[in-house]
């Protein structure tokens, strides 16, 4: 089948099954275009929590589908490719977390949502990049915080909140490669551009410090992927430099065709997100595969940390 035929079949099957298709901002353009909702980790979790559909097709990575299964244990959660993982979620094991907690018995554990369901069972608060600062601010100031697994998001949150946070030294292989941004060179190339930087980037905490002092640049925003989209909607800028996975440029260009969007690097590609293709999405709907179901004993222990994340937006 060619893409047009696949699209027709997917829409037909989706209708017949009463399914909803959720897609992350990094998905391939054709997957974003066919989805009912495209968004960041927080937005997708919120949609999964509120949808009335019995079946959710999750076009994203495995931990995102797991999160939906935890929030909505009675719904069928399907992912088009079970191999769509996340290097950041893999950067801490449950044994490592248990040992870390033993060394810090009174600490509050704050985990980025990019973690496995098992890690969430040992977590007090989950956060996404769009609400990490607000969640940490809601924790009493006399509490020691263990933040995991992303060291750059952790450093960013510590810098913004001024809290003394112990940070796990994990990272995402796509974002950690986005190192220091040479603002002078970027400004020379794109003099009136706004700079949009994901807090998982290797440069985020130093960029944040620079952005407060670097007057030559337009707006410098360190935000989640949906925060970037909101910024594009509301900014008068004609040029945007984007420091995150390049899949998001598709949505930005659709939103503002008259503007120019420059990725900080053409190589910022998450191969896990790109595993989800139209053909696999079609097979998912046709064969009801592959189900992601977090076992009840794990889901019941993991749910509170996610509910707390959804409460603080
Ligand atoms: P967002 O929550 O900003 O969409 O980020 C998710 C992610 O996996 C970033 O790499
Ligand atoms: Fe995970 Fe990085 Fe891919 Fe995001 S971009 S899903 S953090 S591997």
* Residues within 6 Å of ligand 2 by CB: 61, 86-88, 114, 172, 174-175, 245, 270, 272-273
Banded model confidence at residue 183, pLDDT cuts 50, 70, 90: low
The whole-number pLDDT of residue 42 equals: 85
- Give tens-digit pLDDT for 41-97: 889 989 999 999 999 999 999 999 999 999 999 999 999 999 999 999 999 999 999
Please tell me the predicted confidence (pLDDT) of residue 219: 78
pLDDT at 34: 98
Q: Is the CB of 201 under 6 A from ligand 1?
A: no
Give ranges for CATH 3.40.50.10800 in the chain: 3-85+273-294, 89-171, 175-263
Cα distance between residue 236 and residue 233, in whole Å: 9
Residue 210 pLDDT greater than 60, yes or no: no
Question: For 151-170, what is the mean pLDDT?
Answer: 93
pLDDT value at 212 more than 60: no
Q: pLDDT band for 265, please (50, 70, 90 cuts).
A: confident
Nearest of 146, 63, 67, 142 to residue 99 by alpha carbon:
146
Band of pLDDT at residue 206, cut at 50, 70 and 90: low
- State whether the Cα torsion 175-95-117-138 is positive or negative: negative
Structure-model confidence comparison of residues 41 and 99, the more confident one: 99
Nearest residue (by CA) to ligand 2, atom 5, is 270
Pocket test residue of 58, 61, 199 for ligand 2, highest count of atoms within 8 A of CB:
61
Q: Check pocket membership of 129 for ligand 1, CB cut-off 6 A.
A: yes
Question: Looking at residues 257-262, what average pLDDT do you find?
Answer: 96
pLDDT at 213: 44
Ligand 2 atom, smallest distance to 89 CA: 1
Which whole number is the average pLDDT over 207-231?
73
Write the pLDDT tens digit of every residue in 241-252: 999 999 999 999
* Separation CA 241–CA 257 (nearest Å): 15
Binding site membership of 122 for ligand 1 (Cβ less than 6 Å): no
Protein fold of 89-171: Rossmann fold (3.40.50)
* Ligand that comes closest to the CA of residue 270: 2
Q: Which fold has domain 175-263?
A: Rossmann fold (3.40.50)
Task: List the residue whose alpha carbon is closest to atom 2 of ligand 1.
Answer: 41
Atom of ligand 2 nearest to the CA of 270: 3
Q: Hey, which residues does 240 pair with through a beta bridge? A: 194, 261
Probe residue for ligand 1, chosen from 67, 224, 246, 309 as the CB with the greatest number of ligand atoms within 8 Å: 224
Question: Residue 309 and residue 197: Cα distance in Å, rounded?
Answer: 22
Q: Please give the number of the atom of ligand 2 that sits closest to the Cα of 200.
A: 7
Would you say domain 3-85+273-294 falls under CATH 3.30.420.40? no
What pLDDT, on a 0 to 100 scale, did the predictor assign at position 101?
98
């Amino acid at each position: 089948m060619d893409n047009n035929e696949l699209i027709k079949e997917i829409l037909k099957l989706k209708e017949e099954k009463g399914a909803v298709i959720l897609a992350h901002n990094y998905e391939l353009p054709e997957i974003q275009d066919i989805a009912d909702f495209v968004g960041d980790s927080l937005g997708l979790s919120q949609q999964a929590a509120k949808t009335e559909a019995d079946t959710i097709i999750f076009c994203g990575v495995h931990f995102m589908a797991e999160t939906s299964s935890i929030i909505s244990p009675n719904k069928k959660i399907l992912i088009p490719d079970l191999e769509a993982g996340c290097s950041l979620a893999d950067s801490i094991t449950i044994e490592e977390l248990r040992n870390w907690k033993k060394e810090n018995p009174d600490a509050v554990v704050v985990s980025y949502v990019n973690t496995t369901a098992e890690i969430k069972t040992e977590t007090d608060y989950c956060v996404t990049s769009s609400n990490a600062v607000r969640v940490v601010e809601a924790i009493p100031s006399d509490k020691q915080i263990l933040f995991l697994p992303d060291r750059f998001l952790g450093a960013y949150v510590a810098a913004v909140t001024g809290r003394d946070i112990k940070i796990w030294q994990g990272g995402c292989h796509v974002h950690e490669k986005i190192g220091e941004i040479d603002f002078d060179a970027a400004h020379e190339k794109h003099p009136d551009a706004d700079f949009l930087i994901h807090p998982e980037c290797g440069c985020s905490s130093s960029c944040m410090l620079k952005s407060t002092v670097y007057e030559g640049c337009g707006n410098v925003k360190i935000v989640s992927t949906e925060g970037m989209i909101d910024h594009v909607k509301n900014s008068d800028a004609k040029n945007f430099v984007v420091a995150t996975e390049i899949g998001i440029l598709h949505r930005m260009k659709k939103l503002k065709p008259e503007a120019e969007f420059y990725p900080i690097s053409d190589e910022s590609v998450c191969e896990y997100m790109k595993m989800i293709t139209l053909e696999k999405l079609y097979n998912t709907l046709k064969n009801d595969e592959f189900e992601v179901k977090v076992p009840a004993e794990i889901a019941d222990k993991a749910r509170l940390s996610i509910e707390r994340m959804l409460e603080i937006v």
